[in-house]
Chains A and B, each alone.
Chain A
Amino acid sequence: MAATNNLQQKTGAKKFGAMLSALVHRQIFIPIAALLLLLIFNLIADPSFFAITLAQNSAGDPVLSGYLITVLDNASELVILAIGMTLVTAASGGQDISVGATIAIAGSVVLRVLCGTNSRPDTLQAPIIVAFLIGCVVSMLFGAFNGVMVAFFKIQPMVATLILFTAGRSIAAWINNNELPIISDASFGYFGNFIPGIPVPTPIFIAALCMIIIALVLKFTNLGLYTQCVGINAHSSRLNGINPATIKFLTYVILGLCVAVAGFIKVSRFSTINYSVVAKDIEMDAILAVALGGNALSGGKFNMASSILGAYVIQLLTTTLFKFNVVSSALPAYKAVVVIILVVLSAPVVREKMLALWTKIAPKKRVKEAA
């Protein structure tokens, strides 16, 4: 009896070990582990982190509030950017560092169209959808500019996008003659806050919609296959009839579209814009989301779900730090420490070592249990 029990335990442990090994080797394991780690930390430190309450916002509508909601809400822009950044990284083996600056441009364009000639209009000068679409077009044009630099002039992505990284915010200011447009129409704020009657923040829906769209695109087109092919072996791709330059260009245009959506949410949140601060450093977070997702920053194979989870992990981290009253000026330093830990732990070398360690410890445990 004891023997069979023992045996069962052994096979059970073995099975568990195999499952663990399979899971650890999965790419998505990294962001999931990071997510769980942060959640567990919060659970231990202060379970109130998970509380979600129904509160009233300034307009008197009932809305959900709580840290988790904040995380989901605030992560929206980052998630949308991570989608485009993943594609750009996969195809061109480099990153676009101009997304923060082009968000300022996209936001500025949206406000400009809504305001018309007056910087503080009483009524909207154009339908919101028109403003949004124009923002998209402009943002995609800037994406196309980056794309041309990278794909056709073969400039390193970091260098090519450095141009707009530097110039973007002043272009954004110039679009509105460096004035501060303020939209007083409440309906514009719906997209960055709440739609009356719906207790969930709108950006969460927008991000979800973007995720659904990219999932469909990846399923019903060859975007995924082509970008990965080009990123892994451009020579081979060319001989197989794929034009690497076109694909790279396309990914930058798609990222441009993502930037437009993110920029739209950003300006809608405050109904105004601060050119030098809006979406500051978001490009680094977007790149980090891709990296945390376990995607090689040198391009090639990618896992979109992993990147998106990576984006949520970063926002969760930021919100956690805020909750523990880390001074906002010290925030980046704390963040950096956590990021270093996460990145090191997710490095393949370390993962292999840890797995080896686990398999070494595991048999001992079994022996102990048997005894």
Chain B
Amino acid sequence: MQEGAVLEMRGIDKRFPGVYALQHVDFTLRAGEIHALMGENGAGKSTLIKVLTGVYQKDASEIFMQGTQKPLVIKSPQDAQKAGISTVYQEITLCPNLTVAENMYIGRTAGALTKWKQMNKDAQTLLTSLGIPAQATQQLASCSIAVQQMVAIARAVDMDCKVLILDEPTSSLDEQEVAKLFKLMLDLKARGVGIIFVTHFLDQVYEVCDRITVLRDGQLVGEYIIEDLPRVKLVSKMMGKELGELSDIEAKGEAVHVDTKSMPVIEVNQLESAAGIKPFDFTIRKGEVNGFTGLLGSGRSECVRAIYGADHVTGGKVKINGKEVKIKSPLDAMKHGISYLAEDRKQDGIVGDLSVRENIILALQVLMGFFKPIPRAKAEAFAKEYIKLLGIRTASADTPIKSLSGGNQQKAILARWLLANPIYLILDEPTRGIDVGTKMEIQKLVLKLASEGKSVTFISSETDKMLRTCSRLVVMRDRRVVGELSGDDLTQDKIMMTIAGGEKK
């Protein structure tokens, strides 16, 4: 064990069928520090935490806790709890209809009888000492989300935890609530608790953390003291691109040139939605391919969802071909010629039990209306055409779409939106979780569509892919548009600098 370490994980391996989720990852947590665990989606953050909390069984590795000589065996969340490792998840896992005190002591009272008075008193003492603004006898559901989260933390603290894992605790909190939570975290830090903080918000990392461990593709990139790792470097480590040494040569040339003086197809002015994005401006012209970029959770999807009417729009204007339009629902957007390929294919894309054919014709069918079903023969012809065009691998057009592989499902959904013949196509992470070949095909297709005069907005975490196809990039951070890059500014370095932002540190 290292000096002062409260938890040490050495050589953690975790294999899922066909993939290494974690490969020889080391992680050390010291007493009284707040340690950020950073990485892009799929980097292995959650897997590491799940190994630590006993949700997954590790394949190989050793975990040591302070004061023990033998490696710790964690086979279930209960084991982890006994060892002093507590987790507070993004979604509250407490019981909203019980009181605060009951939630803090549930499952841990000695014997069958609960000493209610004593319990409430203890709870109140702890709440006060931690400065949590809640009454012990209050129903949990009547507290704000932030307070509920704090109660979960208080429960963990009372269980004498040495390691506290906070998994994305701030994503549903507003700024004031975040400040309160941070105060509590600093307080616990002073008491010697080691805190693992998982978040996507860069600003928050630099506000409270002492150390950062970066993971990428299931491997450890490194552990850094926060002062030694400026934001730009952190972003480059997370993305796996070193500053300066990037080859941007191949990035350009392919992007379609657009007449910048022409009337924008879509013009968005100070649009705002209930999903919590700050008002933003956006334009796209005929035949243009542009993109939204930023880290996960930076509000990229929320922006396009606001344009598409998928989230409740709370303010701002949208003009299509210079005319102001009201888009209140996805159907409105579709009628104006906007198509949106959603980020979450399983939840927002496919209709699993329906056939590939029905999935392909769905958008066109809805546009045609309730009383005009597409004749079977025509639907079959459409399906056949697009299965061939996009090379969708399926036993037949009648196969339920859920039995296709991810990439083929994605192609089928893409076919759906192409069939709707939009003037403006939004592709939200169209290449996630699909193989390289399909990725290339989809990129080519995007450029082809643009050359046919369609406008395309592309969202992806993979900036190199974006550079190859987009002529302009809107950069987002912490739910705010922080920059727009085009022309010579369109380089990996510049994107990373903008994503990281330099205002605060």
Q: Report how far A235 CA is from B370 CA in the complex, Å.
A: 19
Given A225-B365, A241-B329, A243-B331, the answer on whether A232 and B373 have CB atoms closer than 8 Å is: no
Contact, CB under 8 Å: A221 / B370: yes
Q: Is B342 an interface residue (CB 8 A)?
A: yes
Given A238-B310, A239-B340, A239-B342, the answer on whether A222 and B365 have CB atoms closer than 8 Å is: yes
Chain A positions 220 through 247: 1 when the CB is less than 8 Å from some CB of chain B, otherwise 0: 1111011011001101111111110000
Q: Is A248 an interface residue (CB 8 A)?
A: no
Chain B positions 363 through 389: 1 when the CB is less than 8 Å from some CB of chain A, otherwise 0: 101110111110000000000000000
Q: Report how far A221 CA is from B365 CA in the complex, Å.
A: 11
Contact, CB under 8 Å: B330 / A222: no
Q: Is A300 an interface residue (CB 8 A)?
A: yes
Residues of chain B contacted by A229 (CB below 8 angstroms): 351, 354, 362
Query: Who on chain A is nearest to B332 by CB?
Result: A241
Q: Report how far A221 CA is from B372 CA in the complex, Å.
A: 6
Contact, CB under 8 Å: A232 / B352: yes
Residues of chain B contacted by A219 (CB below 8 angstroms): 373
Q: Is B348 an interface residue (CB 8 A)?
A: yes
CB distance from B416 to the nearest CB of A (A): 8
Which among A221, A223, A240, A300 is the interface contact of B366 at CB below 8 angstroms?
A240
CB distance from B417 to the nearest CB of A (A): 9
CB distance from B105 to the nearest CB of A (A): 31
Q: Is B2 an interface residue (CB 8 A)?
A: no
Q: Is A301 an interface residue (CB 8 A)?
A: yes
Chain B positions 331 through 370: 1 when the CB is less than 8 Å from some CB of chain A, otherwise 0: 1001100001010000111111110001000110111011
Given A228-B353, A232-B352, A235-B348, the answer on whether A241 and B340 have CB atoms closer than 8 Å is: no
Given A222-B365, A301-B353, A301-B354, the answer on whether A239 and B370 have CB atoms closer than 8 Å is: no
Query: Who on chain B is nearest to A226 by CB?
Result: B370
Contact, CB under 8 Å: A240 / B362: yes
Chain A positions 108 through 120: 1 when the CB is less than 8 Å from some CB of chain B, otherwise 0: 0000000000000
Given A222-B373, A238-B330, the answer on whether A232 and B366 have CB atoms closer than 8 Å is: no
Given A222-B370, A235-B347, the answer on whether A241 and B353 have CB atoms closer than 8 Å is: no
Query: Who on chain A is nearest to B308 by CB?
Result: A239
CB distance from B472 to the nearest CB of A (A): 25
Residue among A222, A232, A239, A241 with the most chain B CB within 10 A? A239
Chain B positions 307 through 341: 1 when the CB is less than 8 Å from some CB of chain A, otherwise 0: 01010000000000000000001110011000010
Query: Who on chain B is nearest to A229 by CB?
Result: B351
Q: Report how far A243 CA is from B348 CA in the complex, Å.
A: 14
Contact, CB under 8 Å: A220 / B347: no
Residues of chain B contacted by A236 (CB below 8 angstroms): 342, 347-351
Given A226-B370, A233-B347, A235-B348, the answer on whether A240 and B330 have CB atoms closer than 8 Å is: yes
Contact, CB under 8 Å: B363 / A240: yes
Residues of chain A contacted by B372 (CB below 8 angstroms): 222
CB distance from B303 to the nearest CB of A (A): 16
Query: Who on chain B is nearest to A230 by CB?
Result: B351
Q: Report how far A88 CA is from B323 CA in the complex, Å.
A: 41
Query: Who on chain A is nearest to B416 by CB?
Result: A240
Query: Who on chain B is nearest to A219 by CB?
Result: B373
Residues of chain A contacted by B310 (CB below 8 angstroms): 238-239
CB distance from B39 to the nearest CB of A (A): 27
Chain A 202-227 residues near chain B, CB threshold 8 A: 219-223, 225-226
CB distance from B403 to the nearest CB of A (A): 14
Residues of chain A contacted by B331 (CB below 8 angstroms): 241-243
CB distance from A339 to the nearest CB of B (A): 26
Contact, CB under 8 Å: B371 / A241: no
Residues of chain B contacted by A243 (CB below 8 angstroms): 329, 331
Residues of chain A contacted by B351 (CB below 8 angstroms): 228-229, 232-233, 236-237
Contact, CB under 8 Å: B366 / A242: yes
Name A's B-contacting residues (CB within 8 A). 219-223, 225-226, 228-229, 232-233, 235-243, 300-301
Name B's A-contacting residues (CB within 8 A). 308, 310, 329-331, 334-335, 340, 342, 347-354, 358, 362-363, 365-367, 369-373, 416
* 28 A-B residue pairings within 8 Å (CB atoms): A220-B371, A220-B373, A221-B373, A222-B365, A222-B369, A222-B371, A222-B373, A223-B370, A225-B354, A225-B358, A228-B353, A228-B354, A232-B351, A232-B352, A233-B352, A236-B342, A236-B348, A236-B349, A236-B351, A237-B351, A239-B340, A239-B349, A240-B334, A240-B363, A240-B416, A241-B331, A241-B335, A300-B353
